[in-house]
């Protein structure tokens, strides 16, 4: 299969976390079309597991859905070259106050919206957690909650958890436990 060829990429808007582009492409049949493209630096997330096997989650308001969501801790990279492992450790501490006494292990990588955005989130497992203090960003307001894995998986299948990184991370962790 022949792939489209990008003829032009025009920056339409540069936001604080994203860059929005209008791409002009020549598609295999020869036609020229416009596609939207969002550039993202990437992100890291973590499935934090307490000493007693509970999963630490964060509940926070998400503007795009005008609702609260229940998610694994995560955050964008500070720069495109920041190692995702460092970002995962940082976000775990900032959002939950926990640190992992064991080295984090990579579970899975997720491309969140392949049709129009290049964001990839590397998701890690953090075990043997030690509680400390949260260090939230000034625009972050969230609650830290703990759940049993089976309870969270049930929430996924009942449609109560819809966040792709959270679903991917939790199911990857469940698969790890089952193997």
**Which active-site residues does the annotation give?**
138
**Side-chain-facing half-sphere of 40: CA atoms under 13 Å:** 18
Positive or negative, the CA dihedral 1, 35, 26, 24 is negative
Structure-token pair, residue 22: 């209008």
Contacts 24+ apart (CB under 8 A), 13-17: 17/41, 17/76
Helix axes 164-178, 149-157, angle to 10 degrees: 130
Give dist(CA 73, CA 89) in Å, integer.
10
């Amino acid at each position: 299969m022949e792939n489209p060829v990008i003829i032009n990429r025009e920056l339409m808007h540069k936001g604080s976390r994203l860059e929005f582009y209008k791409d002009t492409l020549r598609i295999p049949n020869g036609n020229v079309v416009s596609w939207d493209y969002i550039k993202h630096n990437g992100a890291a997330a973590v499935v934090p597991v307490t000493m007693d096997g509970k999963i630490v989650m964060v509940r926070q308001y998400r503007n795009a859905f005008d609702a609260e969501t229940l998610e694994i801790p995560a955050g964008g990279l500070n720069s495109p070259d920041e190692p995702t492992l460092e970002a995962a450790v940082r976000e775990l501490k900032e959002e939950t106050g926990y640190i992992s006494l064991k080295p984090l292990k990579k579970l899975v990588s997720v491309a969140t919206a392949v049709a129009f955005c290049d964001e990839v989130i590397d998701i890690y497992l953090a075990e043997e957690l030690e509680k400390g203090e949260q260090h939230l960003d000034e625009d972050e307001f969230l609650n830290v909650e703990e759940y049993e894995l089976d309870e969270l998986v049930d929430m996924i299948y009942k449609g109560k958890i819809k966040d792709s990184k959270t679903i991917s991370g939790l199911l990857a962790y469940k698969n790890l436990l089952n193997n």
